[in-house]
Structures are given as structure tokens and as C-alpha cells.
Amino acid sequence: METAPPNLRDVFSPPRPVILEIGSGMGETTLSMATGAPDTGIVAVDVHTPGIGALLAGAERESLGNIRVCIGDAVELMDRLDPGSLAGIRAYFPDPWPKVRHHKRRLVQPAFVHRAAVLLAPGGTLHLATDIAHYADQMLEVCAAEPMLDVGQGLVDRPQWRPITGYERRGVAAGRMSKDLIATRC
């Protein structure tokens, strides 16, 4: 984390557009999306060490050279990065914190969304997904209030090109429905 350069393009050779994936969990989605976009660099950040280990093992097994990982708090990492330096940021199924008294712990808050918008290059996207209806509404409300973002179609069903994540699969089994939000940096 401390050694991450302010422009994450510089951790790839040759440099390439970078997507920051926040909360990569066990990394299945990261691996799948990295395989489909070899010219894009994926930097996955998570506080969960076993998940990061599984992701690194998968990247080695599949000989993927376009994945880097950070262990630690995504917000701290984002504070170190250069404005306009990311092609995309995604946070699939950030911790839901379902109890009302814990909502303030949710990742997607105005300050986070503003920082994400500042880090995106024009045309870059902030892609969020959740299977908690109240959190989906919160994501839409906060992103729509950020002047640097255009929320496009708002909350939508999972686009076919986004793989179902490990966490999402458990939600589907429990009868929950996912929503995606793709906001574009103006």
C-alpha cells in the first residue's frame, strides 16, 4: 500500500489504462474480467488477506500479467492517487451494513463518490453493484448528486459482460436481486 505510486499506470509495463477494483473478495470476478481485458491493468484492493492470496494464486495459475493487488483500506489508497489517473473504479457488493445504525459505515457515501469522480479520467466509469435495495437507492442518490458524474440509465440489471460474483451468487441463492449502477465521469 505505502509503495503504490500516485499513478497506478506506472505499476504495469508497458503502462496501460487502469481499473481499481475495491473489495475484490476471493477474486473470481477479478480474474475473469482481467482475462477478458489483457490490455487493461486491474489493481485489486481488499483488507481480506486470504482473498488477496487466492487472487494472487489465480493470477499466477492463469499467467495473468495485468493484475496487481493492494492489501488495505481502499479509501487510504485512493487518497494517495493522482486526479484523473484511473480509467475505471468498480466496487461490486461492498459490505451492505444492513442495520440502520451501521449505514454510516457503508463505502458509498458522498465523500467516497467525490474522491472516485476526481480520480477518474473523463469518460471513465464508477461501476457499483449491490443486492440490498436500500443500498442501491443510496448509491443512485449519492452518485446523482455528484456534479462530476452522469448516472446514465441509473439502476439497471446486471450487464451480461459483468460476471456474477461469489458474494452475489450466495445472494441469488437466498432470493436477493442485484442492481448495477454505472456512472460516467463528465
Ligand X SMILES: C[S@@+](CC[C@H](N)C(=O)[O-])C[C@H]1O[C@@H](n2cnc3c(N)ncnc32)[C@H](O)[C@@H]1O
Positions that interact with ligand X (CB under 6 A):
22-25, 45-48, 51, 73-75, 92-95, 165-168
- Closest CB to ligand X among 47 and 156? 47
Nearest approach in angstroms of CB 13 to ligand X is 25
Please report, to the nearest 10 degrees, the dihedral formed by the alpha carbons of residues 121, 127, 128, 131 taken in order. 180
- The answer to whether 153 and 121 are in contact (CB under 8 A) is no
Residue 121 backbone class (left: φ over 0; alpha: ψ -120 to 50; beta: rest): beta
DSSP at 153 = T
Nearest approach in angstroms of CB 51 to ligand X is 5
Nearest approach in angstroms of CB 77 to ligand X is 8
Give the C-alpha separation, 38 to 134, whole Å. 35
- Closest CB to ligand X among 47 and 186? 47
- The answer to whether 11 and 4 are in contact (CB under 8 A) is yes
- Closest CB to ligand X among 169 and 186? 169
- Active-site choice (95, 131, 137, 180): 95
**Catalytic residue flag (residue 82):** no
Give the C-alpha separation, 64 to 68, whole Å. 10
Which residues are part of the catalytic machinery? 95
